[in-house]
A and B are shown apart, each in its own frame.
Chain A
Amino acid sequence: MENPIEKVIMEGLGDLKIRDKLPMAMLLANSVLTIQKCIQVAQNDEVSQREIQESIRGMLNLIPTAWRDDRFNEDLEKANTKKKVDLRPEFCGLRCSEEFCKKHGITAYVEEDALDYFKVLNAIMDLLNRRGLLGEVNRTEKMKGRKFNGNDGKNGHQ
């Protein structure tokens, strides 16, 4: 069944003229829908975990460099994790013990850099939220009604 949101997006993209600016909102919405599809598929088939990663990577590449702020870069660094890869040889479907590998000079485990793609997705959504692309933020002038002293509050700034 065709997704009505996707239909609107695809029609919108199809109507683009050369003089039009790229509709970023539609492109981003399209990649969000792609990620959702991948997640649905991944529930049935383990192979499509790779598709989720690819779709999130695709969305990450859609984010212009100018949009990326310090907090986004911090969030991306947090998404970097170490993955422990098991290199022990298998015999008849059973992995060798660590002692065996040590005795024969075989490296049992290595650590590889890996991205937690769901954290990346979360960082992207936070960035879009900060840029006011997800929902309209109600502009409010909030005053505490007190004199400002240099050390007011934990985040006080002079």
Chain B
Amino acid sequence: METMERTDTSKIYNYHGWQTYIDADRGYYPYFSNTIQERLNQKKVNNIVVVGEPGDGKSYLGTDICRIIEGYGNFSIDQVVFTYSDYMDLVLHLEPRKPICFDEPSFAMGKRTWFDELQRALVLTIESQRFKQHPLIIPICNADLLDKTIRTHLIQFKVVVHDRGKATVYRTHSSQFDEKFYHSFLCDLDYDLFDNDICDKDSCLDCELLNVQCDGDYVCQVFRARYERKKASVQEHRYEQARELSQKTEAKSLTIEQLENLCYSIKDTFIIDGKVNVNKLMMAMQEKYGIQLSNTKAYNIRAMLLEHHAEILKAV
């Protein structure tokens, strides 16, 4: 019996400063990155949508694609944006050929706002963005969340994420003759965890080093940690907005008796010289509970306070 020939023919090559496998037998080659690079050189537009279930690593994959396009160490966390204003800022001021990762655009704001205003603005921007030569990567749960014009006419590549680091790339075409829309297979992506030589934790969320600071700087400067910190700050802002919205919604459903009780608990703020100052009452309710009272309601509450709690005025 003859011995088998060497079958492990995978070689590691340098691709923009990153280690990449090339193996003709196994079909390993940087097909996708090369295609993007070629299109960049030809000054063609590169809009890529990365879709997949939450937690599958869309955002990491999106930033990985950006980091490969730009080369090792050149992609900045500032090029990852979550809001339309930040995105427009980058489009205006970023150097040409630098990629932008617009992470979960629907996440940054309420779905209704997103659909109403932002999508229209984004259609206009993406259409004209090619003059700025910025490859745009949009990680999003489902392409259907994007405007139909964007997903059918303005997206060139769709990356469907199956698992962390595993995805399939499709080149998208829309027919010029009818309303059909085609996806042709380009290649599979198999990315190991990026920066795994520095840190091999696949998630920063349970890492105690994530928010540890020393002399005002964060200790962990791994790219995905910086990404998580930036996302968390946007998320906090979003939660604040959501809280305010929920309070407003709840305030609308409060009865006049409940509002009266709330006002009574902060009576010291609006009783001046033994009188109920309606303006101060409205301001106090806004500041303390985030409840915006109309004039009529505020006067009604004042009347009820005088009726039910006459003793407070006497005491003052």
Contact = CB atoms under 8 A, between A and B. Distances in A.
Contact of A148 (B10, B18, B26, B33): B18
Nearest to B197: A146
B29 to A, nearest CB: 7
Counting chain A residues whose Cβ lies within 8 A of the other chain, the interface size class is 20 to 34
Given A129-B25, A130-B25, A139-B187, A144 B31 contact: no
Interface string B175-215: 00000000000111111111111000000000000000000
A14 interface: no
A157 B188 CA distance: 24
A139 B188 contact: yes
Given A153-B12, A158-B14, A143 B29 contact: no
B18 A147 contact: yes
Interface residues of B, number: 38
B11 interface: yes
B18 A145 contact: yes
Given A139-B187, A140-B26, A141-B187, A155 B11 contact: yes
B17 A147 contact: yes
A130 B12 CA distance: 18
Interface in B21-36: 21, 24-33
Most buried by B among A130, A138, A144, A155: A144
B13 interface: yes
A137 interface: yes
B205 to A, nearest CB: 19
B218 interface: no
The secondary-structure label for the interface of chain B is mixed
A148 B19 contact: yes
B31 A146 contact: no
A70 interface: no
Interface of B: 10-15, 17-21, 24-33, 64, 68, 72-73, 169, 186-197
A141 B64 CA distance: 12
Contacts, number: 106
Nearest to B14: A148
Nearest to A155: B11
Interface string A113-149: 0000000000000000110000001111111111110
B192 A137 contact: no
A111 interface: no
A156 interface: yes
Contacts of B68: 143
A141 B30 contact: yes
A147 B33 contact: no
Contacts of A158: 14
B12 A145 contact: no
A139 B24 CA distance: 9
A141 B18 contact: no
A143 B15 CA distance: 9
Contacts of B11: 153, 155-157
B3 to A, nearest CB: 12
B20 A157 contact: no
Contacts of A153: 11-12, 19
A158 B12 CA distance: 9
